[in-house]
Structure 1
Amino acid sequence: MQPDTANKLRGAYWLKPPRVAYEAKGIAPDAKENRFYYYRLAVRLDEPSSLRLSISANTRYRLWINGQPIGSGPLKGDRWRHYYETLDVSSSLRAGTNIFAVQVWSLNTYMVNDSTSSDQPLYSMTSLPIGPRLAVAGTCLNEAGETLADLTTGKADWQVMADDAVSFYSDDSYTIFMGAIAERVMAMQLPEGWKHAEEPGGTWFAAEKGDPCLGRSDPYPYYIVPQLPLLERPVPLLYEENRPFVREMPIRQDDLQPFCFPSLSAADDEVQIPPHTHAVVELDAGELTTGYLFYPLNLGEGSRIVFRYAERYFQRDDIKANAVRDDAANGVILGMEDVYDPSGRAEIYEPFWLRTFRFIRIEVRTGAQPLRLRRPWYRESAYPLEAKSVVASPESWVEPLWKVSLRTLQMCMHETYEDCPYYEQMQFIMDTRLQALFTYSVGGDIGLVRKALEEFHNALLPEGITQNRYPSAMVQIIPSFSLHYIDMLYDYYWQTGDADTVRRYRPTVDAILDWFDRKIGDSGLVEQIGYWEYIDWVAEWEGGMPTAGKEGPSAIHNLMYASALRTAAKISAATGRSQVGEEYEERAKRLMSRIERLCWSEERGMYREGPAFEQYSQHAQVWAVLSGLCDGDRAKQVLNRALDDPKALQCSFSMAFYLFRALEKAGLYERTAELLQSWVGLLSLHLTTLPETPTEPRSDCHAWSALPLYEFTHCMLGVQNTRPGWQALRIEPHTLDVREMSGELSTPSGIVSIAWLRTDTSFEVSGKVPDGIPFHVRWGDKIDRYYPNGGAFRESIQLNAKSMEGRK
């Protein structure tokens, strides 16, 4: 990610509230609390105009023009990168007065460093607690290119006021790790009509001109990095699309009065709640989503409304049960809540941050005045992932599983990849490596992949290990996640052929591997790693950490380290450092020799969790295969034992990708058919996205579970890359227990189309590869045909025939 060569905010200044704006609300100007501030500008336009607007804020903003929501930002950054967006908002302008309204959320990052405090998102990062800042640059132009109005901060007459209507709160049950903090709103104290009215309510003050807006490439005194070093957003804007709720859910609580909207399709649909009434409605969006809510209401002074957001219905008698997600008859909606006290005026409540939900619950307690509610709606918002790959099959589960897997990936992509949109909304390395692979699989834009590679590089700590999640206001370290970064970097090279980007991040690879090398103890193995030694959510492991690590070396950590060394050797060779690659290979061989001698159990035919530590897991056998410690028939033996031994600790969804890759490498991919049933079985629970774990899901949308996106395209359709940048490939379908499948895989070289059909007596595969791309077609030991120039192909074989030759 290169610095800006043209800072589009150059010439603008950071605006801030004047002292009197703080004093009007009884706020000390140097207060570090988190709160909203409102900025607005009225612009008169007497003829049609165009406007490209660049905008940023500290720390977050949401922009409206003439009362219509336009977008949010800035893109998540860190101390060294504060982003701005540039938007073409010409279509939002009108003849007459135009109101530009910006709500700024001023966050104090340092408050997060208190681990007992959770009053702001952990992912929020800013340089200093400098308070609310807004920067805008843009001129309205007529058709002749003449300037009609200049909106640039420091030049235009922007107004500002501080908020005392909204407070933020969290609780240990649902919001302690939430990416979006819940709101309590006293609507009477909101400035009436501030987003659209020429004469809004509230007391407004002229915004004060602060520091100039400096970009990364702008000259500044003594080369001191500015507080908010500006870069233009390097990835697309999130889309926002209006969506309705699709149905009302039945209410099964005797002490509450259900209410309903006459129609969910009429925009002006309205229901009136009588005075002194306790009433509720629950709505279904039809699928798990992320977006901005709109709650239109009128009257209701003295009322209180609680808006609750949930991914699912929880069973009343066991909230951890893996039950049908839309079972309202036996379930209850639990989750984070916004609390709103209406003003008695006609108003629309819009929570500032996007919410994650499939179901919402609106619970009303009216006072002496009735409350009128119009049906709510939402603007779905996420990264504009355009999935170009498709999969089809007559099998009843294939396409539904593809759909929910794709939805899972989509809803975990916003300004970064996210572990889950409902809770942390944070970018973890292990999760992101898998999400990047799934993005490649569906042929999506890889802007977030490149951004993540840069961000995890920025997450490197002075001691040589990376933070396990980034951007993050609080430092957390899971050492094994740094090893996943090395795999992610090599994946990127294999997908794109972009050696320059990989070369840029080689120092991070070196630092990580040297950090692990310094952890080698007297046994010759890595031990006493420290920090959070997480590997996978295994019930027998406290906090997901192999128990062996408490007493000495963990075989899994050592095998992962050996695998990372060998991947780093490939990176070094691909980027002109073959001698370093040879060193990494030698280190891996020494390490694997020690693992073989100290951890192999001849009696069990598997690798122990540690020297003299008699516990066995699928994980150790998987990484023994992936690292190359065992291969051939021995690899088959250890993996079969790991799958068949009921005492072997099992891989959860987070490690399933690696289990599948080990089986594929060992020639045992057919065994994934039984493992895929863990995903297929979830369809009966009416999930629209895939959960964090298969049995006791904390989150119902966790993209490391979207594994079918990879398996269907690369293994079942069988399209595999064999040269960096997809300059050559192999088509080798694994049919498992499926009779027929077809689809398209979008690659950097173009679309690869595949269709295959298996009967009891024959197998046929056909398709097309982009011209000029050489490829092999293989199927077991029956078909092996090379096509040097790409193009269409067709191969078939009679399974009872002796001949192994297919026909074109």
Structure 2
Amino acid sequence: MSTTPWPDAWTGNWIWSDRPALAGPSREHPYGAADPARFDTRVLFRRTLRLDAAPRTARLRITADSDYRLFVNGRELGSGPIRHAPRRIDFDEYRLDGALVAGTNVVAVIGRYRGHPSPWWEPSPTSFTLGGGSLAVEVAVDDRVLGTDADWRVQAADAWTPAPPAGFLVTQPEELLDARLLDPDWAQLGYDDSGWAPATVLREHSIVGPTGRTTPGGEPWGAPRRSPVPALTGDRCVPAAIAVADGGPTAWDGSALGTARSLLSALLTTPPSVPEGEPGDLIQPVEIPSGRRLLVVDFGRIVSGRLELRFDAPAGTTVAASFLEAPTSAALDSAAVLGYICRGHDDRYRSSERLGGRWLALLVDAGTGWRLDEVAVLERLRPREAVDPFRSDDARLDRIYDVALRTADLSSHDAYVDCPTREQRAWTGDSVIHQSVDFAANLDWSLPRFSPRLLAQPRQDGILPMVAAGDFATPAVPTIPDWSLHWIRQLQRLHLYTGDRAAVAELMPVAENVLRWFDRFAAADGLVADVPGWVLIDWSPVQVAGRSAALNALLARAFLDVAELSDALGDAGRATWARERHAAIAAGFDAFWDEQRGAYRDTIADGERGRSVSEHTAAAAICAGIVPEHRRDAVRRLLLDRATVFTRSPLADHGADALGPVAGTPVSVREAPDWDTERLTVGAQPFFRAIVHEALDLLGESDRIPDLLLDWDALLEGAPTAFRECWEGGSYCHGWSATPARDLIVFTLGIRPLEPGCTRMRIAPRPGRLTRASGAAATPFGPLRVAVDGDRVEIVSPVPFTFVDRDGRESEHPAGAATTRL
């Protein structure tokens, strides 16, 4: 990327075809509205540039509502923009050095307006002319800037059939491309676009305020900002093996994708057996006999990115495809279906969306024998600048670290998402895990810095939606209140690792308003009660009715975080308020304690303590600093007594395993205790185990964490290449299960910031039973390496650090290499 800033004012105009997806004003929509009959529309754009000489420097910036795919001289350079709030938009920048040549060049774009909300896009307010599809581009060539205008040529991309999301939970848009209607050379030099129409320049039109503006900066987005997320990157992934079977008695005619879904579902009820192989083993091309065939392709591991296919097949050959977590009909319920109709030559397909899965199912109907020349996934993930991996004398832990890091990678796109194989929503609470992994193990901190800002899109009442920049961000969908409290922890980590006080100051009003939203439900005892929305806590059956102990503990921790952040900003008033509320919750929390059980009960409802006891309440209370000293030993015993811990998940029958994601009991239903509450403790799922481990660290039990992390072995049994969502079921890859990649660095190697911005680090290795452990942590100044061999500890640090031995003795060290004893 160029470091020279673009000017604030754009010279490129907003352009589109003469048919944006807008309806005129009406009684119901006096400011105009989106046209419900025009959705998922695509427009092809071209602009020829003639240069006397190859440029010394060249770059391009681009933004669009909703999507773009950019080509220069026939080569696809990228797509975007990143997900954003309805009234904000970002631009991407591309270096064109070497891409433009002397003579004729062509910049081409596929513009797309979605219309329907998706997990990664919310519609923007319309303003008569904007909000229904638009594109703006500027090309800077040496000292000239060429922007989008009426000289650009456009043509409707009718080769794609508009497709809405498949359902409320299955929301990845489907894609149907009839390649016979799309010239494969449309983005190439020499293509004749003389029959195309001139672009329509969109002129801002408002009821009040200035009108007539044609460049970005006005309604509804304001000035676009440079994307804070680097260009997504990743490997080109090639499959391990393939199976070819009979495609059944019924042909897909290339029209409705719903029919293709039904046919694939029937065929996947008894899928063919695929031979075992390693990623990259599949020898391509693959010759396929004529007729109707089902192909099941195994990539050997979960991958996430743009699906690429290349065929040598007769014109009219129909291809229905779906990328799946498992080769089952149940997995199809949470996946998009793609359709492609071959043109008979140069049949190359690259999916418009990022997809995720391990298994590709293809139903192909060809009149003659044909050839699958290429099948691959071009991964598109946030960059990770690696540090030395965790390694020890326990190969199981090493593997758990590697898979955890891979799970975080797969779940990190332009935002932290839940599961790349399904929703790809940026959930407000989930991402606290992804962010913590990136701060610990990724030297590129672009996404962990951006994540709290992306998620800081509060509702009018101050609480955050359950997701950001997606379909569930609408006020029509109730929120998960506790997710906003995990967002505050993201803000705390942002300050701890980066020391960026300006960013914290910008976001602190959001944090305060979240806490004041909770205060509306505070009773005289200081505890919040009957908090509305979906109080999730975790997928385990933690009881939450009435006064929820786990929710109140998370709230107390958030007040403590805000108090400490306010201290850092010199905001004594806010710090005092937050500490007073923390103290009030601490005093009221005593009511949850049951001396006979020796534990905090999970609820108080109608003045009576509930029966259940959970790791969640105990761990969150320790992390919040609201457990009196005389009770800490009892809480420690509870968290370490693994024999009495049980877990269960409502997701056990959902997803790719049995019923599909929308079948069975709604996952929001919280079952009442049917277990022995006097003996058993509700255990944390992988997500909340991050807080359990943090509590054990605070209790001085970090040496126990390596053994506790071996629980992740169970997640590898049925899905060995990424960590599943729950101990029982759920998606096959979920970012919130990636906590071992952080915990082995922060707790086992003991590397964490001692001062904001990592200007001084704390190193306190707690390897437990391990005799050897090594690895590195990320800092803004480079990696910090630690190697433990018996009692010998070798450290190479780019900053000064404090070393803490097993007995708690501290020693101060300058930056550089040091050897000491544990």
TM-score range, shorter chain: 0.7 to 0.9
1:707 corresponds to which residue?
A: 739
1:305 corresponds to which residue?
A: 319
CA 1:286/1:232 → structure 2, altered by over 3 Å: closer, same or farther?
farther
Q: CA deviation at 1:311?
A: 2.9
Q: CA deviation at 1:381?
A: 1.3
For 2:772, the aligned partner's letter is E
**Structure 2: distance between partners of 1:517 and 1:29:** 41
From 588, 593, 598, the equivalent of 1:600 is 593
Kindly indicate whether the alpha-carbon contact (under 8 Å) linking 2:752 and 2:762 is maintained by their aligned counterparts in 1: yes
Q: CA deviation at 1:572?
A: 1.5
Kindly indicate whether the alpha-carbon contact (under 8 Å) linking 2:50 and 2:103 is maintained by their aligned counterparts in 1: yes
3-state SS in 2 of match to 1:755: strand
Kindly indicate whether the alpha-carbon contact (under 8 Å) linking 2:526 and 2:581 is maintained by their aligned counterparts in 1: no
Q: Percent identity?
A: 24
1:25 corresponds to which residue?
A: none
1:210 corresponds to which residue?
A: 202
For 1:775, the aligned partner's letter is T
What per-residue deviation string (whole Å, max 9, x for no partner) do you get for residues 297-349 of structure 1? 244234221222023445x9xx69xxxxxxxxxxx998432122223333212
**Structure 2: distance between partners of 1:258 and 1:431:** 35
Kindly indicate whether the alpha-carbon contact (under 8 Å) linking 2:172 and 2:336 is maintained by their aligned counterparts in 1: no
For 2:592, the aligned partner's letter is C
1:662 corresponds to which residue?
A: 695
Q: Gaps (5+ residues) in structure 2?
A: 23-33, 249-266, 646-679
Kindly indicate whether the alpha-carbon contact (under 8 Å) linking 2:750 and 2:766 is maintained by their aligned counterparts in 1: yes
1:168 corresponds to which residue?
A: 163
**Structure 1: distance between partners of 2:811 and 2:801:** 8
The farther-off stretch of 56-65 and 382-391 is 382-391
**Structure 2: distance between partners of 1:416 and 1:83:** 13
Kindly indicate whether the alpha-carbon contact (under 8 Å) linking 2:499 and 2:756 is maintained by their aligned counterparts in 1: yes
2:652 corresponds to which residue?
A: none
**Structure 1: distance between partners of 2:247 and 2:148:** 56
**Structure 1: distance between partners of 2:567 and 2:21:** 60
1:327 corresponds to which residue?
A: none
1:373 corresponds to which residue?
A: 372
**Structure 1: distance between partners of 2:684 and 2:279:** 43
TM-score, normalised with respect to structure 1: 0.83
What per-residue deviation string (whole Å, max 9, x for no partner) do you get for residues 340-387 of structure 1? 2223333212221222122322221123x5444312233221111212
3-state SS in 1 of match to 2:390: strand
3-state SS in 1 of match to 2:704: helix
3-state SS in 2 of match to 1:581: helix
Following superposition of structure 1 onto structure 2, how do residues 249-288 of structure 1 map, counting pairs within 5 Å?
249-250=242-243, 270-275=285-290, 277-288=291-302
**Structure 1: distance between partners of 2:513 and 2:704:** 38
Following superposition of structure 1 onto structure 2, how do residues 658-807 of structure 1 map, counting pairs within 5 Å?
658-685=691-718, 687-696=720-729, 698-758=730-790, 763-770=791-798, 773-780=800-807, 784-796=809-821
**Structure 1: distance between partners of 2:354 and 2:544:** 42
1:199 aligns with 2:195: no
**Structure 2: distance between partners of 1:333 and 1:32:** 26
1:237 corresponds to which residue?
A: 230
TM-score, normalised with respect to structure 2: 0.82
1:185 aligns with 2:177: yes
1:153 aligns with 2:154: no
The farther-off stretch of 619-628 and 788-797 is 788-797
Kindly indicate whether the alpha-carbon contact (under 8 Å) linking 1:536 and 1:652 is maintained by their aligned counterparts in 2: yes
**Structure 2: distance between partners of 1:107 and 1:127:** 14
Following superposition of structure 1 onto structure 2, how do residues 188-587 of structure 1 map, counting pairs within 5 Å?
188-196=180-188, 198-199=190-191, 204-211=196-203, 225-240=218-233, 243-250=236-243, 270-275=285-290, 277-313=291-327, 335-367=335-367, 369-457=368-456, 459-473=457-471, 474-475=473-474, 476=477, 477-521=479-523, 524-538=526-540, 540=541, 546-549=542-545, 552-587=546-581
For 1:488, the aligned partner's letter is Q
Q: CA deviation at 1:749?
A: 4.3
Q: CA deviation at 1:666?
A: 1.1
What per-residue deviation string (whole Å, max 9, x for no partner) do you get for residues 480-523 of structure 1? 11111222111111112222221222211221111111101355
The farther-off stretch of 389-398 and 528-537 is 389-398
CA 1:439/1:250 → structure 2, altered by over 3 Å: closer, same or farther?
same
2:95 corresponds to which residue?
A: 88
Kindly indicate whether the alpha-carbon contact (under 8 Å) linking 2:241 and 2:274 is maintained by their aligned counterparts in 1: no
For 1:425, the aligned partner's letter is Q
Q: CA deviation at 1:609?
A: 1.2
2:138 corresponds to which residue?
A: 137
For 2:365, the aligned partner's letter is R
1:648 corresponds to which residue?
A: 681
Q: Gaps (5+ residues) in structure 1?
A: 23-27, 113-119, 321-331, 541-545, 798-808
**Structure 2: distance between partners of 1:151 and 1:244:** 37
Q: CA deviation at 1:591?
A: 1.9
Q: CA deviation at 1:559?
A: 1.5
Kindly indicate whether the alpha-carbon contact (under 8 Å) linking 2:15 and 2:148 is maintained by their aligned counterparts in 1: yes
Kindly indicate whether the alpha-carbon contact (under 8 Å) linking 2:61 and 2:92 is maintained by their aligned counterparts in 1: yes
1:41 aligns with 2:44: no
Q: CA deviation at 1:269?
A: 5.1
Kindly indicate whether the alpha-carbon contact (under 8 Å) linking 1:301 and 1:342 is maintained by their aligned counterparts in 2: yes
The aligned length equals: 732
1:124 corresponds to which residue?
A: 122
Kindly indicate whether the alpha-carbon contact (under 8 Å) linking 2:239 and 2:375 is maintained by their aligned counterparts in 1: no
**Structure 2: distance between partners of 1:8 and 1:575:** 30
Kindly indicate whether the alpha-carbon contact (under 8 Å) linking 1:235 and 1:447 is maintained by their aligned counterparts in 2: yes
**Structure 2: distance between partners of 1:234 and 1:595:** 44
1:326 corresponds to which residue?
A: none
CA 1:271/1:793 → structure 2, altered by over 3 Å: closer, same or farther?
closer
Q: CA deviation at 1:139?
A: 4.3
Kindly indicate whether the alpha-carbon contact (under 8 Å) linking 1:608 and 1:615 is maintained by their aligned counterparts in 2: yes
**Structure 1: distance between partners of 2:584 and 2:282:** 69
From 603, 606, 609, the equivalent of 1:610 is 603
